[in-house]
């Protein structure tokens, strides 16, 4: 429930509303609403519907809402990992080429020794 509370808090802050304002619109106390945002209390379906309506979204959207800033950080982290992986792949290919050259050189030397 903590991620739901985080979603609700993010949406509230995005609207520029205080906890007191949202609590009043929901017909609950500010401390009760604070517990919802902190994930300290379970939220029943009727309360979820009420909150979703307040933010003009479906309950499903409320439950699956993602902060765009979190998503942006996640995408940047993935890009960074992809870049590092590509660098490592290049290093591996370079090392494989060196091994092949060494094997070819060793094979030629062995052939030269046996023919001499």
Burial profile 6-32: b = 16 or more Cβ within 10 angstroms, e = fewer = bbbbbbbeeeebebeebbeebeeeeee
- DSSP letters, 74-108, are HHHHHHHHHHHHHHHHHHHHHHHHHHHHHHHHHHH
Q: Could you confirm whether domain 2-64 is CATH 3.40.50.920?
A: no
Domain range list for the chain: 2-64, 66-116
Mean pLDDT over the full length of the chain: 91
Distance between start and end Cα atoms, the chain:
79
Among the residue ranges 21-30, 42-51, 58-67, 68-77, the one predicted with the least confidence is 68-77
pLDDT exceeds cutoff 70 at 16: yes
Among the residue ranges 36-40, 42-46, 69-73, 111-115, the one predicted with the least confidence is 69-73
Q: Check: pTM over 0.75? Answer yes or no.
A: no
Average pLDDT score over residue span 44-49: 96
């Amino acid at each position: 429930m903590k991620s739901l509370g985080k979603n609700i808090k993010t949406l509230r802050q995005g609207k520029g509303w205080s906890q007191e304002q949202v609590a009043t619109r929901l017909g609950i106390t500010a401390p009760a609403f604070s517990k919802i945002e902190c994930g300290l209390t379970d939220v029943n379906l009727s309360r979820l519907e009420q909150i979703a309506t307040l933010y003009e979204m479906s309950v499903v959207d409320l439950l699956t809402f993602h902060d765009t800033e979190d998503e942006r950080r996640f995408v940047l982290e993935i890009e960074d990992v992809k870049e590092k992986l590509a660098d490592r792949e290049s290093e591996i290919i370079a090392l494989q080429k060196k091994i092949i050259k060494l094997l070819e050189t060793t094979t030629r030397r062995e052939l030269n020794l046996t023919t001499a």
